[in-house]
Chains A and B, each alone.
Chain A
Amino acid sequence: MTDIDPVEIKRIRWRSRRGLLELDIVLERFLANGFDQLTMAELAAYRKCLELGDNDFLDYVNGKAEVDDPELAHIIGILRAV
């Protein structure tokens, strides 16, 4: 992730603050453990996840809903394992 603008990384970290506590907890763990190792493609997918509504995002992370978008499926898999 060395090529990425450090400001963009900070912005992504802030946008990981959500309206739902469950997501806050999962994403906080992920930011502390795993986030720094993301590839560029994974980071782009994570950024796309952050655009999701909180309920949809949580349903994906909890496995309540299936992820149709192949681009998101992999990163959601990582988040499910956090």
Chain B
Amino acid sequence: MTVPVRRFDAVIVGGGGAGMRAALQLSESGLKTAVLSKVFPTRSHTVAAQGGISASLGNVQEDRWEWHMYDTVKGSDWLGDQDAIEFMCRKAPEAVIELEHFGMPFDRLENGKIYQRPFGGHTQNNGESPVQRACAAADRTGHAMLHTLYQRNVRANTQFFVEWMALDLIRDEAGDVVGVTALEMETGEVYIFHAKAVLFATGGAGRIYAASTNAFINTGDGLGMCVRAGIPLEDMEFWQFHPTGVAGAGVLITEGVRGEGGILLNANGERFMERYAPNLKDLAPRDFVARSMEQEVLEGRGCGPNKDYVLLKLDHLGPDIIKQRLPGIREIAIKFAGVDPIKEPIPVIPTCHYMMGGIPTNYRGEVVIPQGDNPEARVNGFYAAGECACASVHGANRLGTNSLLDLVVFGKSAGDSMVEFIRNEMPNWKPLPANAAERSLARISRLDNQTNGEDVTEVRTAMQRTVQARAAVFRNSENLALGVKEIQEVAERVKRIQIKDKSKVFNTARVEALELENLIEVAVATLISADARKESRGAHAHADFQQRDDEVWMKHTLYYGDDRRLTYKPVHTKPLSVDYIPPKERTF
């Protein structure tokens, strides 16, 4: 079967903040650049980022990039690579000012400079006192960033392929990346995108969890493509959670609700936080509350038909306080939980928010994998940036407002690296391998021909329940070992998923099946990586190994999908220009 080929200097998969920042760099350099996106670029999940973007501009209070670096290293629980962290924090002021020059409407001070707001974990002088470092465009920072970057890209002649889903990475015999295959949803046809360099900016994969704040499009497509192409995934055991999302929906209930007197109850109506934290009770730290909630569920005291959530009770506060001090919460509860909190408690569960791990890269955005004695050999022609990449700046836990910063700093850096690579090393296209589209065509053909198979929605739900029950915030050896076994059983079922609608044009059932094939790779990587890490660090809190163990475990996990094995590589302890920040106990 002949598959049509389209040729570009650079192909970018994903039209969110990172993909569009990289595309701009390439297009403005005069290179022919394509961006493939499942949805219209300004509807990427970057739009959900409200908090802001951090940079040590010092517009409100004295600030230095070195302090931002310290906060990021500490936030990462010393799993972040300090060269990449220095690179990001040093570049932050320049990146934000550049966005301002592009026309991004930041909030301003009276003197005209960009306003900066306080944010958890942002400090002066290495933890001494809080500092105002977050730059924002009202509560629409992500939205403003997407629109700004989209307009610039249109002006720079970036070619957008909207409603195209990338299917597989194309590597030649030497292992170099020479393109991707992609499905045009409008026609159902598969194409080859032949490129001198490919960048993945496919975002997170939070949909592996039953409880997730991520939009439905966040299915880890780039990660799935990597696993199938023999590229390992880094630090997949680290996922950031929020304690109170609406069960079954994922929409967040602000922590302010507990501050105003909301309390958590189990199925017996017991205020269980009194047992875990006799003094602070429901106001104990975020991760502690989340783990206690899950422990209740695991010990059979969860609520509902599946006993899989706890209740957040507010009715004792009275209707006036709920309406006055917690605006919007009542509407969220009614709309997404189907309960009026004036009368009934809200079902809640710890909810996945952000993926710290991803495709292994260096701070230049180059994808790097172990080869011989070199733990970080460059994969020629392959780049990644944004949430799908692991540079690693977030390490074991991400500092708030560093995600938007990550997108623009590493999007640009990867774009620069690609321009340099194409100009200096790849003036002409490497030939495509003869079987370039084989894997993708086989996947589609299996879906079309499968009979007596499994239902996509059912298998996806089984995957999400397993990951939620075994690898959310409460982790122990027994539970993780069970999870490894169970998720591999679900992975066997994914091999037999079936779709009823076999039509070609805009077949969303087919797209969802292909997405599930990506999600399951991420889910298996998460369970296997988490099961192996016998310590507690950042977001990976292990009940049987409660201490951080720098001696043994200050290292990055690498997961290979072909034989589901793990290897490890060292954390970068040499920053680019400053002294190493040695590990300390992480207290706040």
B571 adjacent to chain A (CB < 8 Å): no
User: Are A21 and B506 closer than 8 Å at their CB atoms?
Assistant: no
Q: Find out whether the CB atom of B45 lies under 8 angstroms from the CB atom of A14.
A: no
- A4 within 8 Å of B (CB atoms): no
Inter-chain contact A54/B47, CB cutoff 8 Å: yes
Task: Decide if A14 touches B336 in the complex (CB within 8 Å).
Answer: no
CB distance from A5 to the nearest CB of B (A): 10
A17-61 contacts to B (CB < 8 Å): 17-22, 24-26, 28, 53-55
A53: chain B residues at CB < 8 Å are 42, 47, 143, 147
Cα A24 to Cα B44 with chains together (Å): 12
**Looking at the complex, which of B127-135, B208-216, B448-456, B518-526 is the stretch in contact with chain A?**
B208-216
**Which residue of the partner chain, among A14, A15, A25, A55, contacts B251 with CB atoms under 8 Å?**
A25
Contact B505 A10 (CB under 8 A): yes
| Closest chain A residue to B48, Cβ basis | A20
Q: Is the CB of B143 within 8 A of A22?
A: no
Contact check, B217 vs A19: say whether CB atoms are below 8 A apart: yes
- The distance in angstroms between the C-alpha atoms of A13 and B505, with both chains bound, is 12
Q: How far is the CB of A2 from chain B (nearest CB, A)?
A: 18
Distance between Cα atoms of A62 and B332 in the complex (Å)? 9
Measured between beta carbons, the chain A residues less than 8 angstroms from B215 are: 17-21, 24
B295 at the interface (CB under 8 A from A): no
Top 10 A-B pairs ranked by shortest CB distance? Answer: A10-B506, A19-B47, A19-B43, A24-B216, A54-B47, A21-B215, A19-B45, A7-B505, A11-B506, A55-B143
B residues 266-288 with Cβ under 8 Å of A? none
Instruction: Check if A21 sits within 8 Å of B185, measured CB to CB.
Output: no
Q: Is A77 an interface residue (CB 8 A)?
A: no
Task: Decide yes or no: A19 and B506 within 8 Å by CB, A14-B185, A24-B215, A63-B331 being known contacts.
Answer: no
Could you tell me if A20 and B47 are in contact, using CB atoms closer than 8 angstroms? yes
Query: Using a Cβ–Cβ cut-off of 8 Å, how many residues does chain B contribute to the interface with A?
Result: 34
Docked pose: A76 CA to B108 CA in angstroms = 33
Interface of chain B residues 183 through 240 with chain A (CB within 8 A): 185-186, 212-217
* Residues from chain B with Cβ under 8 Å of A55 in the complex: 47, 140, 143
Q: Is B250 an interface residue, CB under 8 A from the partner?
A: yes
A24 to B507, CA, bound (A): 18
- Shortest distance between the CB of B387 and any CB in chain A (Å): 13
Could you tell me the distance between the alpha carbons of A20 and B45 in the complex, rounded to whole angstroms? 6
The answer for the CA separation of A22 and B143 in the assembled complex, in Å, is 15
Given A7-B506, A10-B508, A25-B336: A18 and B140 interface contact (C-beta under 8 Å): no
Contact with A along B36-59 (1 / 0, CB 8 A): 001110111111100000000000
- Of residues 37 through 93 on chain B, the ones whose CB sits less than 8 Å from some CB of chain A are 38-40, 42-48
In Å, the complex CA distance between A17 and B218 comes to 11
Partner of B44 from the list A19, A21, A62, A63 (CB cut-off 8 Å) is A19
**B249 lies within 8 A of chain A by Cβ:** yes
| Bound form: Cα–Cα A21–B40 in Å | 16
Given contacts A19-B44, A19-B45, A20-B48, 15 further A-B contacts (CB under 8 A): A13-B506, A15-B40, A17-B39, A18-B39, A19-B42, A19-B46, A19-B48, A19-B215, A21-B214, A21-B216, A21-B249, A25-B336, A53-B143, A55-B47, A62-B335
Q: Chain B residues near A17 (CB, 8 Å)?
A: 38-39, 43, 215-217
